[in-house]
Amino acid sequence: MKKHQSDINPRFVEYFQENFFANKPEELDRFLEALTKPLPKTIRVNTTRINVEDFKARAERNNWILTPTNNPTVFRIDRTEIKMPLGHTLEHLLGYFYMQELSASMSVHYLTDGKINNTPYLILDMAASPGGKTTQLSEHYPNSIIVANEPTRDRMAQLVSNTERLRNDRIMITNYDGGFYSNLPETFDRILIDAPCSGEGIGFKESQTVKYWNLKNIHKIARLQIKLLDAAFRALKTGGEVLYSTCTLNKIENEWVINEIQSRYPESFEVLFEKRFWPHEEASGGFFVCKIRKNATVKEVENKVPRAIKTNKELIPLTKDHERILSKFIEIVGLDLSNYYLYEFKRDILAIQKNSTAKALLQNIFPIRLGQKIGRIEEGVFTPDNRIGRDFRLTKTPVYEIMSEQELDDYLRGKEIGENIQEEYSVLQYKGLNVGFESKNPKTEKFTNTFPREWQRK
């Protein structure tokens, strides 16, 4: 149902009139009208899996119309025929793109100056769910370890699912309130803090935001934002950079938060860049970004009581027995894990790319999820994970070509496919895309179906 300007709280209108649009009634009206209109659908190409030109070619074969934006990996998408929801397309299920609003993609774009940086950094995404910005960081920092922290437990499943779909072999997922990271001073080279906020910039889809807007709530949120940015600045290495962003537009949650932290650390805190995205000007959601450099170390807080940092005792290096079990499978399928550290967590075998800081960091944080899941070992038997057929090169494993859209659809809906299968293991492929890894079901002589349930077509 279309929203109207009458749904917007008069106090909201008064605030923005006084602070941004004094003597600009026509522009104020355009801003308020923009908050009632849905945005064009945009997607971000996941360059971890496919380059932009190859994705464009695949989109053209699908009759998708891609229109460029001011972020080179983000496109407006229009489809000439809609056979199924965009989220059920094979390219989405396999993580070749992420549905993301243009403004939301700009935080990482400005943190990285739109460039790929191959330096092996340690990076913190302080409020990571649903995972769009975390995976975008992985694309721009291909040799870095990304710590994706989500303070809200209920949002963890979505973060895990999205990072696994888009590939997460350099990601550690944690579940702390953001203030925890002040316990790790001078640790991270880059930090992204897309702060919890009032959400004024997405009033087009969250009408309650502007309908029940009030300054008391804004100031309450700003106090949390100050706490988070202070913790981020302390956790940042000297010479490092932090990108603070919100999907809101008022000054209290933006400039005032920045000014408060700058007043605490005037000799250390340097603002490099600041921009507010207005929905009526940018044809995107409302957004604010501020890029900050730390120029000097800051003093520890006096009389601060150190917080106990629990470590994950269930996360252990792979045991010798399990190394032998896994090595047999590795030899059969031709899987090279020499560039990965291997860990066990509740019988899951996890692989994370080797990085000089990765092991040391595990002494200080408790990851809920670490890197890429390879499979499970239970009662001396290794069961491989479906995603290794998509995420790793298996040099000794035969390929089974899915021959039709109907067979693909059956597989993506959880059905067994194939007839009289002879090979023990196969990589399933469709039109050049690796879909997954399956074993033979000896009872039916078809492929077992282990395609992740949360990604299946319904």
In whole angstroms, give the CA distance from residue 312 to residue 366.
5
**Residue among 264, 246, 134 at smallest CA distance from 199:** 246
**Residue among 223, 246, 265 at smallest CA distance from 106:** 246
Enumerate the domain spans of the chain. Answer: 105-307, 315-389, 397-455
The pLDDT value recorded for residue 302 is: 58
Q: What angle do CA 124, 165, 385 make, to 5 degrees?
A: 110
In whole angstroms, give the CA distance from residue 79 to residue 63.
6
The pLDDT value recorded for residue 458 is: 82
pLDDT tens-digit profile, the chain (458 residues): 344 565 789 999 999 999 999 999 999 999 999 988 888 899 999 999 999 999 999 999 999 999 999 999 999 999 988 889 999 999 999 999 999 999 899 999 999 999 999 999 999 999 999 999 999 999 999 999 999 999 999 999 999 999 999 998 999 999 999 999 999 999 999 999 999 999 998 866 666 788 889 999 999 999 999 999 999 999 999 999 999 999 999 999 999 999 999 999 999 999 999 999 999 998 788 999 999 999 999 987 655 555 555 667 788 899 999 999 999 999 999 999 999 999 999 899 999 998 877 778 888 888 988 999 999 999 999 999 999 999 999 999 999 999 999 999 999 999 999 999 999 999 999 999 999 999 999 999 999 999 999 999 98
Enter the tokens of residue 176.
Answer: 């702390």
Query: Is domain 397-455 annotated with CATH 2.30.130.60?
Result: yes
Enter the tokens of residue 359.
Answer: 């092991």
Distance from CA of residue 101 to its chain's centroid? Answer: 13
Start-to-end Cα distance in the chain? 26
The arrangement of secondary structure in 105-307, i.e. its CATH architecture, is: 3-Layer(aba) Sandwich (3.40)
> What residues does 245 pair with on adjacent strands?
194, 289
Taking each continuous run of H as one helix and of E as one strand, the counts in the chain are 15, 21
- Residue 247 is among the residues annotated as catalytic for this protein: yes
Written as one letter, the residue type at 102 is: L
Q: Which residue's entry shows tokens 């960081």?
A: 137
* Choices 3.40.50.1820, 3.10.450.720, 3.40.50.720, 3.50.50.60: CATH for 315-389: 3.10.450.720
Q: pTM higher than 0.85 for the full model?
A: yes
Please state the length of the chain: 458
The pLDDT value recorded for residue 1 is: 38
**Catalytic position from the list 104, 148, 173, 247:** 247
The pLDDT value recorded for residue 2 is: 46
The pLDDT value recorded for residue 338 is: 95
